[in-house]
Amino acid sequence: MATRNLWVASRVARPVNKFTLLRSVRSFLSSVCDSEREVRVEYLEGDREGIAVMAMNRPSRKNAMGRVFLSQLSEAIDTIRFDHRVRVAVMRSEVAGVFCAGADLKERAEMSNMEVEQWVTNQRALTVRLSSLPQPLIAAIDGAALGGGLELAMCCDLLVAATTARMGLVETKLALIPGAGGSQRLPRLVGISKAKELIFTGHVMNGQEACDVGLVTRVVDQNESETAAFEQAIKLAAAILPQGPIAVKMAKVAINQGMQVDVASALQFEEVCYAQVIPTKDRLEGLKAFKEKRKPVYKGH
């Protein structure tokens, strides 16, 4: 899949002025730097334009969340949040066999008790920012998502997993509890009793089991390249892509906020969110397209 950060070398084969060449060289150097980042954002093109991919790539530590990783994750969140071209995002790992191994325990072992407490507080705040992205966010779980790795995935709106994926909140095995939202998000996804069972035992589920309990929305057989969940997540993102972007964002707000309160209050959230789509040009385009029996072309305003 083509991405905007790829540099097309053939461009320099044609006569160009020095400014065009300089921009091409800078683009190339940028792509090299991006490939060395632990977390980066890529943009799909063609009929997938509007989809952003948040790619995790720290193979030496199985995407364990260290200082650099979390700093770059924070940057990636802001990049997507403020890019109005992005209509839906996919979070994936480029490390075979793993989504995210959780906290970097080697770094954690060198911290004082106060530093650990501050670290977990910062990580928890980061998950809140991730879960509050205005665009729909899909987690593509092709490998292990354990502890903080699963907490990261649960910040996403939709979870897609391969059958071979492994998921679990295993903190109690280390005499800890989930500290980055896991103890609160898991029961909201699978129910209180099941969440207690999974957290108390530290049980690790495969993709099918996670789907059966309602943790993931789609499960697919793994392929030879170990990218089945990612490919399925892109298909799901593509299904969201043509819908009205403002309407999708408002639907996310209405659902997320409404689930935190009683039904009467939730209906008020729905009313406020519905009011946001009424004056949009997209709404008028939808009505016009329906009347003309054609597909609507939404522009997000």
- Which residues are annotated as catalytic? 103, 148, 151, 171
DSSP 103: B
Distance in angstroms (rounded) separating the CA atoms of residues 119 and 113: 10
Distance in angstroms (rounded) separating the CA atoms of residues 268 and 258: 9
Quote the tokens at residue 63. Answer: 């995407």
- The β-bridge relationship of strands 51-56 and 39-43 is antiparallel
Please list, in sequence order, all residues whose beta carbon lies within 8 angstroms of the beta carbon of residue 201, skipping any fewer than 6 positions away.
172
Please list, in sequence order, all residues whose beta carbon lies within 8 angstroms of the beta carbon of residue 127, skipping any fewer than 6 positions away.
151, 152, 155, 180, 181
User: Per DSSP, what are the bridge partners of residue 220?
Assistant: 162
- The β-bridge relationship of strands 98-100 and 88-93 is unpaired
